[in-house]
Amino acid sequence: LESTLWRDVPFSAAYWLGVEAFRCRLLERGWFRESRFQSPLVALVASCSAGASAAFLTTPFDVVKTRRQVEVARCGHPAEQPSLWQSLATVARTEGPAALFTGSTPRVARVAPACGIMLGTYEMTKQLLRADLAK
């Protein structure tokens, strides 16, 4: 549970802060200004960008979580597991810091579009419902 929380809580914080930061920048620069779908399109791009960044930044926690899950599946629950921080340090020391980012490319490639689709769809649905309710 510890490694899952360390992966998911920072991911959510980085993701939502990133969405708002990217959204502000895109709107300041006039992205999709001429489109009647500006809000959903900006949400899609901002969310993809924030999701990619958050996924990459939290990959070390995902690496530890996955290794712990494999260990439990292979050996059952160990009597005592090292802390998350000890596990991160062990991976970095024995395999090099780059090992903490193993699998980051497929993780980013999966998470970024999923985030973009989710928030873009949400914004599009809001826009369509507002237009429908305004009639």
Residue 51 has pLDDT above 90, yes or no: yes
d(CA 13, CA 62): 16
| For residues 42-71, average pLDDT | 92
**Per-residue confidence (pLDDT) for residue 54, from 0 to 100:** 96
**Per-residue confidence (pLDDT) for residue 123, from 0 to 100:** 92
Question: What single-letter DSSP state applies at residue 31?
Answer: T
Please check whether residue 74 is in contact with residue 29, taking contact to mean a CB–CB distance below 8 angstroms: no
Please check whether residue 57 is in contact with residue 34, taking contact to mean a CB–CB distance below 8 angstroms: no
pLDDT per residue as tens digits for the range 76-133: 776 677 788 898 999 999 999 999 999 999 999 999 999 999 999 999 999 998 877 7
The residue to which tokens 């090292």 are assigned:
82
d(CA 117, CA 1): 28
Backbone angle region of 82, left / alpha / beta, with phi > 0 → left and psi within -120 to 50 → alpha? beta
pLDDT per residue as tens digits for the range 57-92: 999 999 998 888 887 777 777 667 778 889 899 999
d(CA 82, CA 89): 10
**Per-residue confidence (pLDDT) for residue 8, from 0 to 100:** 84
Angle at which helices 38-57 and 59-75 cross, to 10°: 60
**Start-end of H helices in the chain:** 2-28, 38-57, 59-75, 84-95, 104-134
**Per-residue confidence (pLDDT) for residue 133, from 0 to 100:** 73
**Per-residue confidence (pLDDT) for residue 79, from 0 to 100:** 63
pLDDT per residue as tens digits for the range 26-41: 999 998 888 888 899 9
